[in-house]
Amino acid sequence: MLIHMIKKPYLKYDVIDPACKPVIIPVPGKAVIFFNGISDGKKRLLFKAGDKVKTGQKISLFADSAEYAVATVSGTITDISPYVGNFGKTCTAISIDVSEDDFDDSFGKETAGQPLESVRNYLSCLPGNLPVNNLFDPEKKISTIIITGIDADLLVVTNQHIIKSKQGEIKRGIEILKSIPGINNIVIAVRREFVQGYGHIGAEIRNIDVRYPSAFPQLIIRDLLGKTIPAGKTPEDTGICMISAEAVASLGEAFLHNRIPTGKIITVIYKDEKKLVSARIGTPAGDVLKALNININNGDRLITGGPMTGSCIYSEDYPVLPSTDAIMIQDGNSIEPFSDYPCINCGECIRICPANVPVNMLVRYLETKRYQEAAEQYDLYSCIECGLCAYICVSRMPLLQYIKLAKHELAGIKLTEAANV
Ligand code: SF4
Ligand code: SF4
């Protein structure tokens, strides 16, 4: 709901219904696991179609690759092929014909009495997407962890549910995180009314404002720690690691039960309703919708993520990932199309932008692909990608897409330059 005040209008985060319990989605017949990395045609493949995998098994796909995935189902690999996502981002999709769970016990054996870093390769696919590489990157020097107990996008209540339902697992997860050398401060950012019983959790509890987009990392850090993340930098660049409540609970669960958890909590948003589900990572989005009796009609949009920042997906085969907090179906009849009207300089986007970006000027450069000037003169990198400017734009300009594309193009140019040095 958009609330108008004398100064700026604002949108408010939803509060989870305490009675809301996740619907359990059956384990799928076919699952797809994404692996970060692709073959350059020269690397030897360590797995092939016909090979069997166990639930919880650590998989390295190519010889000499530092990347790992974890099988979230048991079964037979049917296909290994490249997958191209938004903005040309590539990974490798491993398709599996699912059979009854046969649990791999290597994690339990390898973790006994060992430091967390020795089992880091099992943890990269935990539900909630634990940022393992950042936590153990010596360059980053992480000293503060902020656990986010509220989802950044509107309507999504996945992490609110975790905070309410997984207190024991979060407590254990915090103990484990504290064992990482250099960590001296752990804060839980949450709506205060959700944390009865959290007195001895082992972290400081801090309250988040109800207004969107106060649960975005840069704003949490500004509001709770009084620090500003410089434009173009990440929280990790300043020694702060953001971790979702679900990732912390999954970490705790893995060590409490000596087994890698494989079920992801997701908020499914459809028309005016939202439901929580628990689905195996790798389950196709279409299977989740089928279990909820939701049909997608011609013209509807299937989106991963929430209404402000989610991304369209173009196939119901797209799987639930460790980071999938929401699946949204936008009714085709209610979609307001973007337009090719020009900016009328109304100034609404500037008024609402939490990062004070001069969006009306920025967009002129982005429309004409003058990305470098947009970054240098009009604060492209100060944008936190909350989508409020696009939401309020009277000309229905696709402002967030312009911004994301510009950052992606500039990142590509930097990579090419670095490769040519
Ligand atoms: S998405 Fe728009 S409103 Fe949000 S920070 Fe970026 S420029 Fe500002
Ligand atoms: S809200 Fe849209 S039309 Fe108005 S100034 Fe911003 S970009 Fe231009």
Tell me, using a 6 A CB cutoff, whether residue 384 lines ligand 1: yes
Share of the chain above pLDDT 70, in %: 97
Smallest Cα–Cα separation from 148: which of 197, 218, 100, 99?
218
Question: For residue 7, what pLDDT is reported?
Answer: 53
Q: Which ligand is nearest to the CA of 357?
A: 1
Question: For residue 127, what pLDDT is reported?
Answer: 97
Question: For residue 5, what pLDDT is reported?
Answer: 45
Q: Residue 181, Cβ neighbours under 10 Å: how many?
A: 10
Query: CA 232, CA 234: separation in Å to the nearest integer?
Result: 7
Question: For residue 131, what pLDDT is reported?
Answer: 95
Query: Three-state SS for 98?
Result: strand
Tell me, using a 6 A CB cutoff, whether residue 209 lines ligand 1: no
Paired tokens of 133 = 């590489």
The arithmetic mean of pLDDT across residues 139-148, rounded, is 95
- The yes-or-no verdict on residue 197 having pLDDT over 80 is no
61 contacts 46 by C-beta, under 8 angstroms: yes
Q: Rounded to whole angstroms, what are the CA distances from 318 to 91, 98, 289? A: 13, 16, 12
DSSP assignments along 304-342, one per residue: ES-TTT-EEES-TTPBP-TT--EEEEE-GGG------PP
Query: CA 245, CA 195: separation in Å to the nearest integer?
Result: 12
Residues 58, 63, 64, 67, Cα dihedral to 10°? -30
Q: Is the dihedral of CA 169, 220, 239, 355 positive or negative?
A: positive
Query: CA 123, CA 127: separation in Å to the nearest integer?
Result: 9
Q: Which ligand is nearest to the CA of 364?
A: 2
Question: Ligand 1 centroid vs 355 CA: distance in angstroms?
Answer: 7
Q: What atom in ligand 1 is closest to the CA of residue 356?
A: 8
Query: What is the bridge-based pairing of β-strands 144-148 and 90-99?
Result: unpaired
Our CA angle for 18, 164, 326, nearest 5°, is 80
Ligand 1, pocket-test mutation among 389, 393, 397, 399, most atoms within 8 A of CB: 389
Half-sphere exposure of 337 (CA within 13 A, CB side): 5
Amino acid letter at 117? E
267 contacts 162 by C-beta, under 8 angstroms: no
Task: Give, as one character, the DSSP assignment of residue 86.
Answer: G
Ligand 1, pocket-test mutation among 388, 392, 403, 404, most atoms within 8 A of CB: 388
Q: What atom in ligand 1 is closest to the CA of residue 388?
A: 3
What confidence category does residue 25 fall into, taking pLDDT thresholds of 50, 70 and 90?
very high
What confidence category does residue 272 fall into, taking pLDDT thresholds of 50, 70 and 90?
confident
The arithmetic mean of pLDDT across residues 363-385, rounded, is 95
Q: Residue 111, Cβ neighbours under 10 Å: how many?
A: 17
Half-sphere exposure of 372 (CA within 13 A, CB side): 3
Q: What atom in ligand 1 is closest to the CA of residue 349?
A: 3
Question: For residue 2, what pLDDT is reported?
Answer: 52
Tell me, using a 6 A CB cutoff, whether residue 374 lines ligand 1: no
303 contacts 199 by C-beta, under 8 angstroms: no
Question: Ligand 1 centroid vs 211 CA: distance in angstroms?
Answer: 15
Instruction: Name which residue sits closest to atom 1 of ligand 2, judged by CA.
Output: 393
Query: CA 89, CA 96: separation in Å to the nearest integer?
Result: 22
144 contacts 185 by C-beta, under 8 angstroms: yes
Model confidence pLDDT, tens digit, residues 298-346:
889 999 999 999 999 989 999 999 999 999 999 888 777 777 788 999 9
Tell me, using a 6 A CB cutoff, whether residue 152 lines ligand 1: no
Q: Which ligand is nearest to the CA of 385?
A: 1
Please, which residues bridge with residue 144 across strands? 185, 240
Query: Three-state SS for 102?
Result: coil
Question: For residue 6, what pLDDT is reported?
Answer: 45
pLDDT averaged over every residue in the chain: 91
Amino acid letter at 128? G
The arithmetic mean of pLDDT across residues 397-401, rounded, is 93
The residues, any chain, with a CB within 8 Å of residue 331's CB and separated by 6 or more, are: 271, 300
Paired tokens of 216 = 């975005």
Provide the whole-model pTM.
Answer: 0.93
DSSP assignments along 13-28, one per residue: -----TT--PEEPPPP
- Specify the residue for token string 């491993």: 94
Q: Which domains does the chain have, with CATH numbers?
A: 28-100 (2.40.50), 108-257 (3.40.50.11540), 263-334 (3.10.20.90), 348-420 (no CATH)
What confidence category does residue 361 fall into, taking pLDDT thresholds of 50, 70 and 90?
very high
Q: What atom in ligand 1 is closest to the CA of residue 384?
A: 5
Q: Which ligand is nearest to the CA of 213?
A: 1
Smallest Cα–Cα separation from 152: which of 20, 249, 13, 274?
13
